[in-house]
Chains A and B, each alone.
Chain A
Amino acid sequence: MVNYGGDEVSALVIDIGTSSLRAGYAGDDTPKAIIPTSYGFHPPQPDTDVVMSDNTAENPEQPAEKPKFSKIYIGQSGPSMWRAGMEIGNPLENGLIRDFNPIKPLIEHAINKVMLCNSAEHPILVTEPTWNTPANRERMAEIMFEDFNVPAFYIANTGVLNAFAAGKGSALVIDVGQSMASVTPVVDGFVLRKGLAYSPLPKLVYAQARHLITAPTQHRRGVELIPHQLIASKLPVDVGAMPKFTFREDRIAGTTESWRNWAEAREVDEWVQTVAGVLEQGWNDQQAAQRPARQYEFPTGYNAYYGSDRFVVGEQFFTHSPALIASNPNLPKSIPQLITEALRACDPELRQVIMGNVVLTGGGTLFSGLADRLSNELARTFPHAKIHAPGNPIERRYGGWLGGSILASLGTFHQLWISREEWQEHGKPIVGQRCK
């Protein structure tokens, strides 16, 4: 037991990201509950406090406490189910929790409904991005202690946790998520805050992909992104031919704009994950043309081949075209720019150390070819750079959770928990003091 320093006190680890919320027992290698962070809700009825019967079934006290939504739909059958008049919300913005209202139901769902355990019995470790605000973490502590009655709480940095998940105390953590890309230097288990660099780069990639799909070219017609929930039937068609499908006319009226946006974003994501890629050796027209084209079929039945332009999408991670720079004054920084910025803020002595321990993590890094391209880019400027990129997609996507799982199951960690007693005694400042 003592050999690896583990001492499990059945702590829970909760890692909230833009795309999904991960929760599980500390000491496990995979989160038990992975639920989408996006949630569906019905806005409160303007007229009343009349509680509908199906409301009470799922969330009894919800409408009374939170006037923001009369009903909330969470989990795998939450936002992805079409419901008349259902709006979609996401509590996160730029990796930070902007709206704390749905946080409680989300965590509740993960712990009580999926993991089937009682939060009052388990110490809980929550993760936060490096650029989290003190107010945010204090709010999180408050939710945990007041709403979930946890015996102990701790909030840890995802950068540090990712480094721990890779087994490193000092590292340069490159984390590409759904909405944010960040480069965080970690030294001795602490983040160098001055070296933190982040940008909403994945959003740019998303926008580029969406543009590529929807804008017509001479080879392809523009695609109307219609989610399968709105399609009644479809017929197979030839490549590039007009799709033959029928709408579910009954649903058109009840579809909200936010749900439509969410569903379309999901279609784009699917396309990106299936088709898009990045050239390993840097942009090269010839090479891009040589790569085989990939066929992709949309829910409408329309299908097309995507050739070299599928690599243009991934290129956004590394370089921006001059035209794009000219038209957009504040483009998000590319990954090489972020790395340079992070290193510039570091002590010259440290650069060697952390460049030898580059940790690549986050679901966005599973983008086809990204790891190879990054290692090529780094090798050009830093010949001694060594990249740790777990091949296991679970480890890559949930690195932050995994690090939290490791940390919260260490015997030496248990002295760091903020206990309920301390919370009641010191109040919010204890969070800042304890979680450095």
Chain B
Amino acid sequence: MAASAADIRSALSIPESSTPAAPQPKKSTAAARKPEGISRELYSLIGPSAPSLAAQLAKPRLKQKPKFGGAGAKVRWELRAFKNPARSDSLELRHWEKVTPDGPSEYPFSKYSVQPNTYTYSQDEYTRFLEDKEWTKEETDYLFSVVQDYDSRWYIIHDRYEYPNDPQRSLEDLRDRYYSVCRKLIRHRPWAGDDLAKAALVSSFQFDKEREVMRKKYITSLENRTPDQIAEEEALYVEVKRLEHNERKFKRDRESLLRILAGIDSGLPDIVEDDGVPLGITGDASNTKAKKKKGGQTTDLDSPATPSVASLPASKRPHSTKNAAYDSQHCITRTEVPSTSVATKAAHQPAYLRSFKLPTPKAAIAPKISQSLAELGVKHTRLVMPTRENVHRLEALMEATTSLVETKRVVDKVDYDIQVLKTRLGLREQSHSANGGEAKIEGGDSMDIDNSQVGDAENEEGEGGRGQSVVSVRSGRSRKHPRRSMSVSSVDTASTRAGTKRQKRG
């Protein structure tokens, strides 16, 4: 509503805006057009803000009657006699007609009476061009009259064709004769238009009798099939459809599988499927058939879209050598395709981001490696700039770290063994003197493990406390290879209680 802005201003006691004159004239115009059915007093009270109310107050009216025939003028109909221009006589039938100011018009249906264009010939023309040893002029005349009578509906012409001593003309005979006569007439008569139109007209009268007869024979043979033959045909058709469907499905599956597994979008255009992988439900027959077809296609067409396997390396090799200079200039490096002979699915190497191929440490020693790398201030999980060189260097660093960690572990192990052996030696010397029972040694297997593990745990704790300088080798080892620790401390002495504990842990 136009007034609302001013109302709000007054309500919020905002001073009038810079255009105080604007709402004023609007109000006056709104007041001027007071709707009907509402009193002036009421309107001055509620103002123009209740148009819906005003509409309701309008005078009630009955439902409007539909207006037939446009402007409401009465339509008059008249029973009139009319003449049909398509008739040659003066028959007058009567029908009801709408009275129009411009009087009765021509009968609207007469325009549908189209006289077909027919050819006639003179005696002279007949003797010159149209002689045919199988047809007399009389019979040709008769044929033309029948064709005109039945408007070139050949089935009916053939049905009604009754020439005395008729030598049993077939439908094709009749058509052939009629069209050939028409063609000859067009050819030999003077032609006003251009040759193209003439040729088109002649071709419209073209009729190949042999072909028609052959076609009819085919139709007849099609009709004369026995039910068995029809059933067999049906079965074959269904089979073919099934095979086609299977093949399509096989292709689709293969495509999607390749896309998933080998990344066909980015990689090689054609990859030979391993023969031992039949996909899905495809039957044997269809499989081999599809293969055969595929083989045939690949050998037949040498289209660039699907290059055959044999031609693939040949086409790739020169490309790489030629552009060596270009590559070096643009810092392009090419990975050597590890193709031994045939590019198989397994050997295929799609394009990848280098950062995805960063070397990862072995899971067993990963924490240790990351720890040691962290000491160096290197984060191996993410390279800021994973260039080729950087990646190589990271790889080298990783390898070095791994070997260092491994070596450290071995060293630790050996140290420990030495220690253990030394203590055992000491014990033995003691038992020699004390002459201890052998039974204790027997049950040792399960217990000493625990011992070692407890030691390990202690070690870990200790190492954790010691900080980052010492790589805790033993803990990782013990977690990963409990078997080894078992063998190491096979001759340790401990209590029987620890056996159950080990089982729980394992």
Contacts and interface: CB of A to CB of B under 8 A. Distances in A.
A7 B109 contact: yes
Nearest to A380: B227
B108 A187 contact: no
A30 interface: no
B155 A415 contact: no
B216 interface: yes
Contacts of A417: 87, 91, 93
Interface in B243-257: none
A2 B108 contact: yes
Given A10-B94, A412-B109, A419-B91, A192 B156 contact: yes
B113 interface: yes
B93 A436 contact: no
Contact of A190 (B90, B96, B107, B153): B153
Contacts of B156: 187-188, 190, 192
**Range of interface residues on A (Cβ < 8 Å):** 20 to 34
Interface string B78-113: 000000101101111111100000000001111011
Interface string A183-195: 0000110101111
A352 to B, nearest CB: 8
A429 interface: no
Contacts, number: 82
Interface string B54-93: 0000000000000000000000000000001011011111
B458 interface: no
Contacts of A411: 107-109, 112
A9 B109 contact: no
B321 to A, nearest CB: 67
B153 A188 contact: yes
Contacts of A349: 216, 219
A421 interface: yes
B45 to A, nearest CB: 58
A369 interface: no
A393 interface: no
**Range of interface residues on B (Cβ < 8 Å):** 20 to 34
Contacts of B93: 9, 123, 151-152, 414, 417
Contacts of A187: 153, 155-156
Give the most central of A10, A188, A190: most B CB within 10 Å.
A190
B155 A350 contact: yes
A348 B109 contact: no
B166 to A, nearest CB: 12
Nearest to B161: A194
A415 B159 contact: no
A8 B110 CA distance: 15
Nearest to A349: B219
A99 interface: no
Nearest to B93: A9
B398 interface: no
Give the most central of A192, A412, A436: most B CB within 10 Å.
A412
A422 interface: yes
Contact of B95 (A9, A151, A351, A436): A9
A426 to B, nearest CB: 10
Interface in A413-436: 414-415, 417, 419-422, 425, 436
Contacts of B223: 348, 351
B95 A415 contact: no
A146 interface: no
B119 interface: no
A172 to B, nearest CB: 13
Nearest to A419: B91
A412 B150 contact: no
A151 B91 contact: yes
Contacts of B86: 415
A415 B160 contact: no
A236 interface: no
Contact of A436 (B89, B149, B216): B149
B171 interface: yes
B109 A193 contact: no
B150 A436 contact: yes
Give the most central of B84, B112, B150, B159: most A CB within 10 Å.
B159
Contacts of A5: 109
B423 to A, nearest CB: 99
A347 interface: yes
B341 interface: no
Interface string B214-251: 00100110010000000000000000000000000000
B155 A421 contact: no
Interface in A382-436: 411-412, 414-415, 417, 419-422, 425, 436
Nearest to A423: B89
Contact of B113 (A2, A151, A412): A412
Nearest to B154: A347
Contacts of B109: 2, 5, 7, 411-412, 414-415
Contacts of B153: 187-188, 190
B212 to A, nearest CB: 10
A425 B87 CA distance: 15
A86 B149 CA distance: 49
B160 A419 contact: no
Contacts of A151: 91-93
A8 B95 contact: yes
A193 B219 contact: no
A194 B112 CA distance: 30
Contacts of B171: 347
Contacts of B95: 7-10
Nearest to B223: A348
Given A2-B108, A192-B155, 7 more contacts: A9-B95, A10-B94, A151-B92, A187-B153, A195-B159, A415-B109, A417-B87
Nearest 9 A/B pairs, CB to CB: A411-B109, A419-B91, A415-B86, A9-B93, A190-B156, A348-B219, A192-B159, A421-B89, A348-B220
9 contacts: A2-B109, A7-B95, A190-B153, A192-B155, A347-B171, A347-B216, A414-B109, A419-B91, A436-B149
